[in-house]
Amino acid sequence: MISDYLNEMKEGVDKALERYLLPSDRYPQNLIKSMHYSVFAGGKRLRPILVLAAAEATNGPVKQIMPFALGVELIHTYTLIHDDLPALDNDDLRRGKPTNHRAFGEAAAILAGDALQTYAFQLMTDTKLMKEIPTEAILRAVHELSQAVGPLGTIGGQLVDLQSEGKQIDAPLLEYIHIHKTGCLIRASIRSGGILSQCTEKDLDTLTHFGENIGLAFQIIDDILDVVGDQAVIGKDSKSDIKSRKATYPALLGIEESKKRAKNLIDDGIGYLDHFDSSANHLREIALYFISRTH
Q: Which residues bind a second copy (CB under 8 A)?
A: 22, 26-28, 30-32, 35, 78-79, 82, 85, 87-88, 105-108, 110-111, 113-115, 117-119, 121-122, 125-127, 135-136, 138-140, 142-143, 146-147, 149-152, 155-156, 158-160, 162-163
The Cα 64–Cα 49 span in angstroms is 13
Beta carbons of 214 and 266 less than 8 angstroms apart: yes
What's the one-letter identity of residue 10?
Answer: K
The distance of closest approach from Cβ of residue 105 to a second copy in the complex, given in angstroms and rounded to an integer, is 8
Given a contact cutoff of 8 angstroms between Cβ atoms, the answer to whether 253 and 261 are in contact is yes
Q: How many CB atoms lie under 10 A from the CB of residue 227?
A: 16
User: Per this entry, what is the length of the chain?
Assistant: 295
Is residue 255 within 8 Å of 224, Cβ to Cβ?
Answer: yes
**What Cα–Cα distance (Å) separates residue 144 from each residue in 138, 217, 276?**
10, 21, 23
Quote the least distance from Cβ 148 to a second copy, whole Å: 9
Q: Which is nearer to a second copy, 173 or 252 (CB)?
A: 173
Q: Which is nearer to a second copy, 157 or 215 (CB)?
A: 157
> Quick one: 85 or 234, whose CB is closer to a second copy?
85
Task: Tell me how far, at minimum, the Cβ of 62 lies from a second copy, in Å.
Answer: 21
- Pairing state between β 93-94 and 97-98: antiparallel
Q: How far is the CB of 195 from a second copy (least distance, A)?
A: 12
- Minimum CB separation of residue 10 from a second copy in Å reads 24
Judge whether 184 and 215 are in contact, CB under 8 Å.
yes
Q: By C-beta, is 154 or 206 nearer to a second copy?
A: 154
Toward a second copy, which CB reaches closer, 143 or 260?
Answer: 143
Contacts of 288 (CB under 8 A, 6+ apart): 2, 266, 270
Name which of 42 and 151 has its Cβ closer to a second copy: 151
Which amino acid appears at position 275 of this protein? H
From the CB of 163, what's the least distance to a second copy, in Å?
A: 7
Give Cβ neighbours of residue 45 (< 8 Å, ≥ 6 apart). 9, 10, 13, 14, 73
Contact 99, 93 (CB under 8 A): yes
The CB-of-125 to a second copy minimum distance in angstroms stands at 4
Burial of 53 (C-beta count, 10 Å sphere; 0-12/13-18/19+):
buried
Task: Output the smallest distance, CB 90 to a second copy, in A.
Answer: 10
Q: Residue 163: phi, psi to the nearest 5? A: -65, -25
Complex with a second copy: residue 22 or 233, whichever CB lies closer? 22
Residue closer to a second copy by CB (options 40, 121) is 121
